[in-house]
Amino acid sequence: MMANLAASLFAAEGITTSEAKAKHLRPIAEKLITKAKKAQDEGPMQVHRIRQIEAFLGDREMTYKLVHEVAPRYLDRNGGYTRILKLGTRVGDNAKMARIELV
């Protein structure tokens, strides 16, 4: 479930989900972006890191977007790639909702 949420986050660059899922997704997304940043370096570990990202996400297109479009934006940033905005409660079950997006 977290891999699908992460892939959706990178595809749309922001998703609305429950607050608990957003808080659980944040460290996973941050680590994937950091790994994609390290994959920018030429060398023997580049392919390995890209394959690790693809193994987690299970989606070649989202891996390409993460490594070639999202990660280069954060090369000068040392963390804090996502933000969580609290939205209130959902009408049906009164669950706390939040929007997690890339900064």
| CA-CA-CA-CA torsion sign (17, 70, 102, 75) | positive
DSSP assignment letter at 51? H
pLDDT for the residue 5: 96
Largest CA distance in the chain: 51
pTM of the model: 0.93
CATH 3.90.1030.10 fits 2-102, yes or no: yes
Reading the chain (103 residues) residue by residue, the pLDDT tens digits are 999 999 999 999 999 999 999 999 999 999 999 999 999 988 899 999 999 999 999 999 999 999 999 999 999 999 999 999 999 999 999 999 999 999 9
Instruction: Report whether 36 contacts 102 (CB < 8 A).
Output: no
Q: What is the pLDDT of residue 76?
A: 94
Domain parsing of the chain, residue ranges:
2-102
